[in-house]
Chain A
Amino acid sequence: MSSEPMLRVENLTKRFPGALALDAVDFSLKAGEVHALLGENGAGKSTLIKCLTGAYRRDSGEIVLDGQPVDPRDTFDAQKLGIGTVYQEVNLLPNLTVAENLFMGRQPLRFGMVDTRSMNRDARQMLAQYGLEIDVARELSAYSVAVQQIVAIARAVDLSGKVLILDEPTASLDAHEVRMVFDIVRSLREKGLGIIFITHFLDQVFEISDRLTVLRNGRLVGTRAIAETERLDLVTMMLGHELSQETREHAAERGGKPETRFRFRGFGRARSIAPFDLDIGRGEVVGMAGLLGSGRTETAEVIFGIRPHDSGSAEMDGAPLALTSPRKAIAAGIGFCPEDRKTDGIVGDLSVRENIILALQARRGWARPLSAREQNTLADRFIKALDIRTSDREKPIKLLSGGNQQKAILARWLATEPQLLILDEPTRGIDVGAHAEIIRLIEDLCAEGMSLLVISSELEELVAYARRIVVLRDRAHVTELGGAEIDTDSIVRAIAADAGTEIGT
């Protein structure tokens, strides 16, 4: 193995309007190594990959491949240079056969016709190298995601052959399938390919990679050799906290134990989140910490009825609650600010006012409209109270910045005066000023007696306002921290605690 890197990225910067997605990031990849790329959502992993594959053009910085500076214009250009990518959502066509997928656009021809027989034969041979013996004349959708992933890898390697980027290839695979994919990754490493491996499963990082690089908020946190990295270091790098940090004063020290309002017992849904017990008190903020994919969002979605629970029960003030659909959850006084504002939150073409009153109006029903004056009063009150920066309340919400959109969604739920508000990553992707305001809001809300369940990757935030913190791992609630236990140090330890022999799911 040569120690000279095959791919070198220096000072890569990519700027989007209003956000710096990559800030002078360095990265290197050697031939014959598996290099894990880690970071929470929005850390800049995808942007880095897209700059490498030509999906984005970088603003500044250098990409050097085999000693030559390169500048891929698009995916095909990157492919020609030797950089191939396999995405989590298999980027193949499920309605075509395996062989057609492998040879799309370069099918062997005979007298101008596609020579299906020799195409299938070549496909079989190609897959045999990966230990895969399947009927290549069947359509791709007939096979498991793992097989589809391997087909995608085979195609990418066949087309490119130097650098293989695996973007969360194992996210929807079970343990056995992960092993299948890993065997292939190892054999490709033997052949001298450089492999960039993106995942959020730490066990997999330790199992397969040689080195790892962590990004956070578009900046490089560091690159380490796997052999020299402890689990705890890694979590610390990802979540961004020094263990020596002094314990801050936090919410847990304020006041005594509040009366329990919401009580969940054995609440869960198969394959989404293991049954959990959870109590939330009046005016209490319960935090949920865990890495991406640990079951945080799933907990929220099961409570809110988006994925109806199939076990357990819920009650409020001792009375049973039916939480089988969002409408029922809303009727029960629950609100939910989703993580993905764009697809699940804002109704883009509608005005700020309409977005704010939407949930309240939906609960009242179409026949009992809020009058124009009530709507304006409500909208103006929240625009003022939450300091939503908009030229006027009739501006389409899609024209607002991310932080202001987030505050408008928050206003939508506050307008319904909920008993319990669930916030999924309320501060993601918004600027520092808005960030602080949203935290202040959360504190005000709980002071007014509203119960809050807050999911966040920002541990310092959680420490600042949460009375108790539920730690999740592998789609289950594993620990609950309360009182003096709450500090970033113990949260990181709880998250990093060895998940045992499990891999993947």
Chain B
Amino acid sequence: MKSRYLPLAATTAIFLIAYALCYAQFPAMLSTRVIGNLLTDNAFLGIAAVGMTFVILSGGIDLSIGSVIAFTTVFIAVVLANSSMHPLAVFALALVITTLFGATMGAIIHYLEMPPFIVTLAGMFLARGMAFVLSTDSIPIAHEFYSVLQSLYWRMPGGGRLTLIGGLMLLVFLIGMVLAHRTRFGANVYALGGGVATARLMGVSVGHTTICIYALSGLLAGLSGIVFSLYTTAGYSLAAVGVELDAIAAVVIGGTLLTGGSGFVAGTLLGILIMGLIQTYIIFDGTLSSWWTKIVIGVLLFVFIFLQKGILWATSRNAAALENAHGR
């Protein structure tokens, strides 16, 4: 097996085994109803996680996405409540703002040569603060267009509903896969994760790519915010706290190396589904408490980080042996 696919295979295996165990205990969990809900409930997280996948693949991190989601929901709610703009126009405006926001962070990371961790931390504070400036209350959204969007779904065989936002998440994952594996931009992202200096030597425009990566993450966080506002029909500046952590966890459990350069967008989808599955199981069980979700995710994180370290050791052993043989 190619070592590149090993974490992805492990993720897939964990997902299938987990699902099989769930099914053995609660046969109802295989219904399309459950699957439909799983997709709907995790749609906003999944969309944001696609952006996070690109950021992590490039060797960076984006702590701002939770705040950007909250900002987007508040922005939409406030504008809809105070103007007669059509929601679609508001969506477009929100996406432009969040994309520019991400691009600015990317530019600061590149031009000031600062660690993404601290730059996006500032972004996190700023976006959350802007949301508070707009409104500190939870603002309900009562536009009829929202009802229209929410009523759109495709009834799957078996009675499950694939909602608009669930479908949108799948579409984003599909586009993400194409972008990552079939475009020059995608290759550049992997190249940055493989080594910035080498990537630069090989002709990758590092600044341009970095800015695009964080702009993409901002765009998808904005889209995630739109989905979140559709999901909750409200805008709230305290919403989506800690979503960045869930997204990072999903990416890592999906088999992407946290240090960058290796992983798959499809893996992140599996990571999201595993996390959703844990929640669904806990709901089905009824006696287990919700905090087990966090603990299990933490354990999975550790397992995957440990696994990746192991693979890294195994693959570098050859190189290390040679290096040892030749000094430096």
Contact = CB atoms under 8 A, between A and B. Distances in A.
Contacts of B319: 145
Interface string A167-188: 0000110000000000000000
Residue with the greatest number of chain B CB neighbours at <10 A, chosen from A91, A95, A101, A142: A95
Interface residues of A, number: 37
A52 B183 CA distance: 33
A112 interface: yes
A114 B187 contact: yes
Interface in B179-214: 182-184, 186-187, 190-191, 193-195, 198-199, 201-204
Interface string A284-314: 0000000001000110010000010000000
Contact of B4 (A116, A139, A293): A139
Contacts of B202: 91-93, 101, 104-105
Contact of B191 (A96, A141, A171): A96
A293 B187 contact: no
Nearest to B191: A93
Given A94-B194, A138-B2, A272 B187 contact: no
B191 to A, nearest CB: 5
A113 interface: yes
A271 interface: yes
B187 A298 contact: no
Contact of A293 (B3, B203, B326): B326
A105 B194 CA distance: 15
A375 interface: no
A505 interface: yes
Given A93-B190, A139-B4, A114 B184 contact: yes
A139 B263 CA distance: 12
Interface string A83-127: 000000001111110001100111101001110100000000000
A206 interface: no
Given A93-B190, A93-B198, A114 B323 contact: no
Residue with the greatest number of chain B CB neighbours at <10 A, chosen from A114, A116, A145: A114
B40 interface: no
A272 B325 CA distance: 5
Given A93-B194, A142-B3, A271 B183 contact: no
A96 B262 CA distance: 9
A56 interface: no
Interface string B1-24: 011100000000000000000000
A76 interface: yes
Contact of B195 (A93, A100, A114): A93
Nearest to B204: A105
Given A93-B202, A307-B324, A113 B182 contact: yes
Interface in A409-445: none
Contacts of A138: 2
B322 A105 contact: no
**Size class of the B contact interface (CB-based, 8 Å):** 20 to 34
Given A91-B198, A172-B325, A104 B182 contact: no
B327 A104 contact: no
Given A75-B201, A76-B203, A104-B203, A95 B193 contact: yes
Contact of B190 (A96, A113, A141, A172): A96
A114 B2 CA distance: 22
Contacts of A307: 324
B271 to A, nearest CB: 19
Contacts of B182: 113-114, 116
Contacts of A104: 187, 191, 202-204
A101 B201 CA distance: 12
Contacts of B318: 144
A145 B198 CA distance: 16
A368 to B, nearest CB: 35
Given A105-B202, A271-B321, A505-B325, A95 B261 contact: yes
A173 B40 CA distance: 54
Contact of A96 (B3, B184, B187, B327): B187
A307 B201 CA distance: 32
A95 B327 contact: no
Nearest to B323: A172
Contact of A139 (B2, B199, B324): B2
Interface in B251-276: 261-262
B31 interface: no
A113 B323 CA distance: 38
Contact of A272 (B190, B262, B324): B324
B324 A114 contact: no
Nearest to B2: A138
Nearest to B318: A144
B315 interface: yes
Contact of B326 (A114, A116, A172): A172
B156 interface: no
Contacts of B315: 141
B325 A114 contact: no
Contacts of A96: 187, 190-191, 194
A297 B195 contact: no
Given A104-B203, A109-B184, A301-B327, 16 more contacts: A76-B203, A91-B198, A92-B198, A93-B191, A95-B194, A105-B202, A105-B203, A107-B184, A114-B183, A139-B4, A142-B2, A142-B3, A145-B319, A171-B326, A272-B327, A298-B327
29 contacts: A91-B198, A91-B202, A93-B190, A93-B202, A93-B261, A94-B194, A95-B190, A95-B194, A95-B261, A95-B262, A96-B187, A104-B203, A105-B184, A105-B202, A105-B203, A106-B203, A107-B187, A113-B182, A113-B183, A114-B182, A139-B2, A142-B2, A172-B322, A172-B325, A271-B325, A297-B327, A307-B324, A340-B328, A475-B325
Those 6 A-B pairs whose CB atoms lie nearest each other, nearest first: A93-B194, A105-B203, A271-B325, A95-B261, A95-B194, A113-B182
Interface of B: 2-4, 178, 182-184, 186-187, 190-191, 193-195, 198-199, 201-204, 261-262, 315, 318-319, 321-328
Interface of A: 75-76, 91-96, 100-101, 104-107, 109, 112-114, 116, 138-139, 141-142, 144-145, 171-172, 271-272, 293, 297-298, 301, 307, 340, 475, 505
